[in-house]
Amino acid sequence: MARLDFVKMHGCGNDYVYVVAVKTRPADPARLSIKLADRRLGVGGDGLILLCRSSAADARMEMYNADGSRAEMCGNGIRCLARLAYESGVARRNPIRIETDCGIKTVWLKLENDRPIAATVDMGAPILEGREIPAAADGRIVDYPLHTGEASQRITAVSMGNPHCVVFVDDDRIFNMADDDFARLGRQFERHPFFPRGVNTEFILPLSDRRLRMRVWERGSGETLACGTGACAAVVAASLTGRAGNAAVVELRGGNLEIQWRSGKDQDGHVMLTGEAVEVFRGWLEVGEQDLTAG
């Protein structure tokens, strides 16, 4: 038998199991993610994230959802990964450049006594062209009528390296919806043929031009307490539709995220995400020798 060390971490309640996969790594990370993410029979989490070496950046993030599917990016996950990279010595620098499946992201760590407690991530520029999100329409998809199983909803689609469908609501009923009912609603969007690769869906109640409330259904993981890329997409969508400015605090079930879309004249159009990066606990698993391979 062999030993696989892991770290449980979260950003605003968006929790993952992290493995430093520099020397050795899981042979089948998709299968391992399903096993570990189970909140009754496993460690519990929204998925598995591997910290790997990179030839193009300081480190690489390899991410798997709770259902074993591969994910391109996670704004909460990358903050925690940057902390782990710094504390483990894989990338003892600040800022840290991390390679993801949607490009290289720069992360600035907030340190207290050389201990990372939060981070700001340059999430890059949002993708607004429908076919590139991808979605089944040309041009920008802003307040677009989408027919779901129950009704027609007005949506705004944004990609932050992964696809998002933002639905604005007029009151707080969505936040009081029972979990089973919310799951049925979320799946109607996640598997909608309008989004050929599936979609993350954010339900947003604008509270002011600088504050949004959000409940999210994530592709491959279900409802999560927070979604960093989703919060970024929400602020972009709110700005595009005139519901908020280009900087806002997003209130999620797991905490708050600060988002700024640098969309003004002479700015680069990138979205900046700031939030906590929390270690919950460390542990190890006993696995078979065949379950590990070289990193």
Token code pair at residue 159: 């990609």
Vertex 131: Cα angle to 102 and 128 (nearest 5): 65
Enumerate long-range contacts of 128-131, CB under 8 Å, 24 or more apart: 128/158, 128/159, 128/236, 128/240, 130/157
Any idea what DSSP says for residue 129? Answer: B
- Contact 47/71 with Cβ under 8 angstroms? yes
Catalytic one among 12, 52, 74, 165?
A: 74
**232 given a catalytic annotation:** no
Strand bridging mode 278-287 / 2-11: antiparallel
φ, ψ of residue 231 in degrees (nearest 5) = -65, -40
Place of tokens 């600088």: 210
Which tokens hold the place of 36?
């570990």
Phi, psi (deg, nearest 5) at residue 22: -85, -45
Q: Which two tokens stand for residue 264?
A: 């003004």
165 is catalytic: no
Rounded to whole angstroms, how far apart are CA atoms 49 and 69?
12
184: its two tokens: 């049925």
3-state secondary structure of 253: coil
Q: How far apart are CA 53 and CA 90, in angstroms?
A: 8
Annotated catalytic residue within 12, 52, 80, 227? 227
What 8-state DSSP symbol labels residue 291?
G
Distances (CA, A) of 176 to 11, 26, 180, 265: 23, 39, 12, 40
The DSSP code sequence of 87-112 is: HHTTT--SSEEEEETTEEEEEEEEEE
> Which residues are known catalytic residues?
74, 227
